[in-house]
Structure 1
């Protein structure tokens, strides 16, 4: 049981999905509000690492079996678009490389941690293995997809920004 089980009654996966969406969105807003550009840079490794852990969990949403992590992963695109819009292409590219570095470092460090022989009273080793021993395979595919998709997103956003700089085309730049 998590602490949220004491706050909320049992909720459907669809309601939890909506809450996860709102939690991601408001976390980005809070990071930006309290820390500015640095807050957006902070969100990138958070979203990248969490998405690669969440993707291990299969759930049913609207009668379809899906993995978690999609909302959290997609939130990184919103952040790079905000960085592109307000701080330029170089800032957005920097965020992409921060995400790439943070996931790579997480995979290496957590796999080294798993190599330690646990103490006799340790009870968490197997749980950590269940999560993080799969991470290298997931992360490799994720890093390739992340790098290609994020760098393309930054390029496409700036491509449309130079051709349609008016604020009324922000929706197109964000979605094209």
Structure 2
């Protein structure tokens, strides 16, 4: 690989990492708003389905990006992005805590109580998200590479969906369980949020498979990679 190709590969990696971190941090900040993601209001066992947090909207992007990085750059680089995302989440939490501590001026459009109401639960959300995120992302990467070894680099759709489905269930269960445990969400919503979250993420995983194929195809063609070959960044 030429120096020009190495620099291009490094830039693309940084862009993917930036998209990953942004999606993760934003999902922790906006999680307190809920919406119906399907026009039908369905109840199962007296639990409303398809009610879901807006924080879930950018979250599937993180799994698409880690799968793409895993495929092109390898397991080590994917794990590095995950750890960087944890650092970014903690740093964003510290900024929120400082912002919440300083008093608002009399003419501030956002008053102290409003700010605290919107971001007051961010600490618990970030902690819950990080625990779920750690379990889910590392499981996603492990399962992805297990299927990659088993299929010898073939059947991309198989490892993409199997790894994402399993890890997303772990992620959703952990987040909802912790938020209910800290009484941010009522336990009566547990089943509905769990089922809705898993269904949403499974559907998104199916929908993002063509984008993963496209990304892998473009990257492999750009850097002339063979089947199961990975880019090595210095």
Same fold (TM > 0.5):
yes
**Higher relative helix content:** 1
* Partners of 2:102 and 2:145 in 1: CA distance: 46
Q: Which has the higher contact order (CA 8 A, sep 6+)?
A: 2
2:24 to 36, 41, 48: 48
* Partners of 2:134 and 2:26 in 1: CA distance: 17
Structure 2 residue aligned with 1:97: 83
* Partners of 2:121 and 2:161 in 1: CA distance: 32
Contact 1:52 1:135 in 2 (8 A): yes
Matched, 1:123 2:109: yes
- RMSD of equivalent CA atoms: 1.8
Relative to structure 2, which stretch is displaced further, 75-84 or 117-126?
A: 117-126
Q: Could you list the runs of 5+ residues in structure 2 that have no partner in the other structure? A: 1-7, 42-49, 163-234
Task: Kindly report which structure 2 residues correspond to 1:75-114, keeping only aligned pairs within 5 A, or say none.
Answer: 75-114=61-100
Contact 1:44 1:98 in 2 (8 A): no
Partner-residue secondary structure (3-state), 2:51: strand
- Number of aligned residue pairs: give it: 143
* Partners of 2:146 and 2:54 in 1: CA distance: 31
Partner-residue secondary structure (3-state), 1:124: coil
* Partners of 2:86 and 2:132 in 1: CA distance: 11
Matched, 1:172 2:165: no
Structure 2 residue aligned with 1:4: none
- How far does the alpha carbon of each residue in 1:19-49 deviate from its partner, in whole angstroms, 9 at most, with x for none? xxxxxxxxxxxxx99x411111101211111
Partner-residue secondary structure (3-state), 1:123: coil
* Partners of 1:142 and 1:98 in 2: CA distance: 14
Deviation of 1:128 after TM superposition, in Å, equals 2.6
- How far does the alpha carbon of each residue in 1:64-109 deviate from its partner, in whole angstroms, 9 at most, with x for none? 3221122311110110000000000011001111111111111111
Q: Could you list the runs of 5+ residues in structure 1 that have no partner in the other structure? A: 1-31
Contact 1:53 1:69 in 2 (8 A): yes
Deviation of 1:151 after TM superposition, in Å, equals 0.6
* Partners of 2:75 and 2:148 in 1: CA distance: 10
Relative to structure 2, which stretch is displaced further, 112-121 or 138-147?
A: 112-121
Contact 1:49 1:103 in 2 (8 A): yes
